[in-house]
Amino acid sequence: MIIIPAIDMKDGRCVRLYQGEFDQQTEYSKDPVAVAHNFERLGFSHLHMVDLDGAQSGNQENQDIVRRIANTTDFSIQLGGGIRDQTSAELWLKSGVDRCVVGSLAVTQAESVKKWLEKVGGDRIVLALDVRINESGTPLLSTHGWTRESETSLWQCVDDYLASGLRHVLCTDISRDGAMSGPNVELYREFIQRYPDISLQASGGVRHIGDLEALRDAGAAAAITGRALLDGRISKQEISSFQHAE
């Protein structure tokens, strides 16, 4: 399993939100490029970047930062936030980004996103599917920065995309994001059992190296972690041991 560190950008800074709330953000650095270089020194090969300004407004305000990181590191970069049409996705894929992450549009404009998948290939698009677990235990999708609830389940959405070449899904249990409460391992284990041919990126709730080991044991292809790394809750030695154990 690959550990993918996350950099969320807001107004040119590296921040973390609590459960997607823009008024509950913590600033970690005024220099996201330096944060990326530090992650590279720790031995990571992949990087997850989110333009929070783009996610809010649809206008990507942090493009220069993304390009600087792409040009000065060897990361395989996946980028989300404000990518709302095929043209934007294709431009990023030609500008050093390896995968584009598509969130709300994957739910609200599924037919268009299916065409993107078929055009650029399933390995270049990641569907970011954010869920809240209802009282019956069904993971229901949320969109628009987690402000709108859907009656569509995670399973219905993924089933709908299978014929279009879907290969990568980033799944976040919203209740766990930024809360340092541990990942929803049972949800991810069920996903992997249902869709063994899809590479699952687990996101939300990672507190320490033990959580990453649990996700690896569940069969996740990757785990995204931001706050635990930025807070120093996972040490360089633990990262190295985990990577060498792969």
Q: Which residues contact 69 (CB under 8 A, 6 or more apart)?
A: 7, 32, 33, 36, 47, 49, 75, 77
Q: What is the pLDDT of residues 93-122, one digit of tens each?
A: 988 899 999 988 999 999 999 999 999 999
Which residues have a catalytic role annotated? Answer: 8, 130
Rounded Cα–Cα distance for residues 144 and 103 (Å): 8
Q: What is the pLDDT of residues 133-184, one digit of tens each?
A: 888 989 999 876 555 677 899 999 999 999 999 999 999 998 876 656 799 9
Rounded Cα–Cα distance for residues 246 and 237 (Å): 15
Q: Using a cut of 0.85, tell me whether the model's pTM lies above it.
A: yes
Region label for 220, one of left (φ > 0), alpha (ψ between -120 and 50) or beta (otherwise): beta
Rounded Cα–Cα distance for residues 50 and 61 (Å): 11
Q: Which two tokens stand for residue 2?
A: 């690959």
pLDDT of residue 56 exceeding 80: no
Written as one string, the DSSP assignment of the chain is: -EEEEEEEEETTEEEEEETTEEEEEEEEES-HHHHHHHHHHTT--EEEEEEHHHHHHSS-S-HHHHHHHHHHS--EEEEESS--SHHHHHHHHTTT-SEEEE-THHHHTHHHHHHHHHHH-GGGEEEEEEEEE-TTS-EEEEETTTTEEEEEEHHHHHHHHGGGT--EEEEEEGGGTTTTS---HHHHHHHHHH-TTSEEEEES---SHHHHHHHHHHT-SEEEESHHHHTT-S-HHHHHHHHHT-
Cα atoms in the 13 Å half-sphere on the side-chain side of 89: 25
Fold of 2-244: TIM Barrel (3.20.20)
In this predicted structure, what is the pLDDT of residue 178? 60
pLDDT of residue 54 exceeding 80: no
